[in-house]
Amino acid sequence: MQGVNVKSEIGNLKKVILHRPGNELLNLTPNTLEELLFDDIPFLEVAQAEHDAFAGILREEGVEVVYLEDLMAEALDTDPGLREKFLDQWIYEAGIRTDLYTQIIKDYINSEYAGTKDMVMKTMAGINLQELPQQHTNLLVDMVSDRTKLVCAPMPNLYFTRDPFNMIGNGVGINRMYSTTRNRETIYGDYIFNYHPDFKDVPQYYSRENTFHIEGGDVLNINDHVLAIGISQRTEPDAIDQLAHNVFSDETSTIDTILAFNIPVSRAFMHLDTVFTQIDYDKFTIHPGIMGPLTVFEITPDGNGGTKIRERDEDLESILTEYVGQPVKLIPCGGGDRIAAEREQWNDGSNTLCVRPGTVVVYQRNNVTNDVLYKNGINCLVMPSAELSRGRGGPRCMSMPAWREAI
């Protein structure tokens, strides 16, 4: 399967991109949690076992699982000059600005991580000062710095592959992320979609060099004509305007409507997919806390190369019914119990990954919500989640579908 094909949230999932948590989690410390967007430190060994179980569930359902780190290594191996180009870019984006330390880090990586995949994994894990060979640099910063200081920060959020880039029909958006910490993650998608033989010809609808922030967790493919995008803590309306223009201008795209959901700015409501996901032809999970303040805007082409926007005053069920083409049912996280909803929403009870219509991967810990889904005829593929959930993302966050069959 070359290229990408994602024109719904529920079509039979055939290929997905994951990232298995690696040593980047070992570089999380209490002092860096806030900066690196974590609330706690996952236990790596258990997190990896949970992630392997997730990948195993998908393979058992007939899904081809490919890993971000493998795709990146394969992309770099297409041209001998790409390794050095990537390293220079990665070091610069890590905040290294001196020729001396640029060379020290390059020499260290090239000597200790000669294999392409090993090098890629090391760039994800980060580098602290004590790893580098001690040299007399005559730099004041080296004399006063703790040897455990991070020189190149890790990317612990990478196992949430949904966000750095996202598929839109047969195209992709390479995103500009909300935080500097996560924006560095998009470098891997940039190389994959520019150099990997399976992905280099995919149309690109957004660039990581753009000014405005947008993240993949806010982008949902309703069908081959409609996108839903969240205006959220991490996606700006200006980015949606720009993306809409690019998608509508592409003659190969079938998208003719974008629904912009203005959701509350909150860490609990980080992305649209943390409060709202489609799980069947006519069913969606939803966090009841967004129902009151939710506003929806419809964006369509104006016929002259621009867009027109109108605010939709109807209730959410009516809007979704119109665009899905049949009456829909919204299934509340926590079954409508406020305490259960808030608790399980925090652990991504609404963030499900649909494998096929009516079959979804869910976190084991959200037992109240899962029971409600069972009672509504949904087949729940339950995965362990004690450690992975500490990163504040669920099965949808941890997966980037590259190919779905038509619904």
User: Which has more confidence, 140 or 3?
Assistant: 3
| DSSP-derived 3-state class of residue 166 | strand
Residue type, 77: D
Query: Mean pLDDT throughout 127-156?
Result: 70
Q: For residue 243, is it within any domain?
A: yes
Query: Mean pLDDT throughout 281-294?
Result: 77
Same domain, 247 and 296: yes
Q: How confident is the model at residue 140 (pLDDT cuts 50, 70, 90)?
A: very low
Task: Please give the C-alpha separations between residue 251 and each of 170, 246, 247, 254, 401, in angstroms, as whole numbers.
Answer: 12, 10, 9, 8, 23
Query: Mean pLDDT throughout 2-24?
Result: 96
Lowest mean pLDDT among 25-39, 283-297, 318-332: 283-297
Q: For residue 2, is it within any domain?
A: no
Q: How confident is the model at residue 262 (pLDDT cuts 50, 70, 90)?
A: confident
Same domain, 278 and 358: yes
* Two tokens, residue 116: 């392409």
Q: For residue 1, is it within any domain?
A: no
Residues 6+ apart with CB under 8 A from 302: 308
* Two tokens, residue 340: 């259960």
CATH number at residue 200: 3.75.10.10
Residue 252 pLDDT more than 50?
Answer: yes
Full-model pTM? 0.93
HSE toward the beta carbon, residue 282, CA cutoff 13 A: 9
Mind giving me the DSSP string for 68-121? HHHHHHHHHTTSTTHHHHHHHHHHHHTT---HHHHHHHHHHHHHH--SHHHHHH
- Which of 152, 171, 197 is the last residue in one of the domains? 152
Q: How confident is the model at residue 342 (pLDDT cuts 50, 70, 90)?
A: confident
Lowest mean pLDDT among 125-129, 174-178, 348-352, 378-382: 348-352
pLDDT value of residue 143: 42
Residue 141 pLDDT more than 70?
Answer: no
Q: Which of 25, 30, 79, 18 minimizes the C-alpha distance to 47?
A: 25
CATH number at residue 113: 1.10.3930.10
Residue type, 202: V
Report the DSSP pairing between strands 283-286 and 329-332.
parallel
Same domain, 165 and 253: yes
Residue 320 pLDDT more than 60?
Answer: yes
* Residues involved in catalysis: 397
- What's the angle, vertex CA 72, arms to CA 390 and CA 94, rounded to 5? 65
pLDDT value of residue 295: 84
Q: How big is the chain by its Cα radius of gyration, in Å?
A: 21
* Two tokens, residue 311: 């605010």
How large is the angle between the packed helices 82-93 and 99-112, nearest 10 degrees? 130
Report the DSSP pairing between strands 257-262 and 226-231.
parallel
> Which domain does 383 fall in, by range?
13-68+156-404
Enter the DSSP assignment of 169: B
Q: How confident is the model at residue 256 (pLDDT cuts 50, 70, 90)?
A: very high
Same domain, 383 and 302: yes
160-204: per-residue pLDDT in tens? 999 999 999 999 999 999 888 899 999 999 999 999 999 999 999
| DSSP-derived 3-state class of residue 375 | helix
* Two tokens, residue 58: 């998908």
Residues 6+ apart with CB under 8 A from 44: 21, 22, 23, 25, 26
Residues 6+ apart with CB under 8 A from 133: 104, 108
pLDDT value of residue 241: 95
Residues 6+ apart with CB under 8 A from 215: 163, 164, 175, 177, 178, 182, 232, 234, 235, 271
Beta carbons within 10 angstroms of residue 31's beta carbon: 8
Residue 122 pLDDT more than 70?
Answer: yes
Task: Please give the C-alpha separations between residue 139 and each of 98, 130, 136, 285, 312, in angstroms, as whole numbers.
Answer: 11, 16, 8, 55, 59
Query: Mean pLDDT throughout 106-117?
Result: 95
Residues β-bridged to residue 16:
65, 401
Query: What is the Cα–Cα distance from 260 to 237, expressed in whole angstroms?
Result: 8
User: Which has more confidence, 101 or 141?
Assistant: 101
Q: How confident is the model at residue 22 (pLDDT cuts 50, 70, 90)?
A: very high
Same domain, 217 and 103: no
Same domain, 43 and 100: no
pLDDT value of residue 269: 57
Residue 98 pLDDT more than 70?
Answer: yes
pLDDT value of residue 267: 52
Query: Mean pLDDT throughout 280-295?
Result: 79
Q: How confident is the model at residue 59 (pLDDT cuts 50, 70, 90)?
A: very high
Same domain, 100 and 160: no
Task: Please give the C-alpha separations between residue 353 and each of 49, 197, 348, in angstroms, as whole numbers.
Answer: 19, 27, 11
Residues β-bridged to residue 33:
none
Percent of the chain topping pLDDT 90: 65
Q: How confident is the model at residue 9 (pLDDT cuts 50, 70, 90)?
A: very high
Residue 390 pLDDT more than 50?
Answer: yes
Q: For residue 6, is it within any domain?
A: no
Over the chain, what is the mean pLDDT?
89
Q: For residue 55, is it within any domain?
A: yes
pLDDT value of residue 177: 93
Same domain, 128 and 201: no
Same domain, 321 and 203: yes
| DSSP-derived 3-state class of residue 3 | coil
pLDDT value of residue 137: 58
Beta carbons within 10 angstroms of residue 334's beta carbon: 22
Residue 147 pLDDT more than 60?
Answer: no
Same domain, 325 and 378: yes
Q: How confident is the model at residue 31 (pLDDT cuts 50, 70, 90)?
A: confident
Q: For residue 289, is it within any domain?
A: yes
Q: How many domains does the chain have?
A: 2
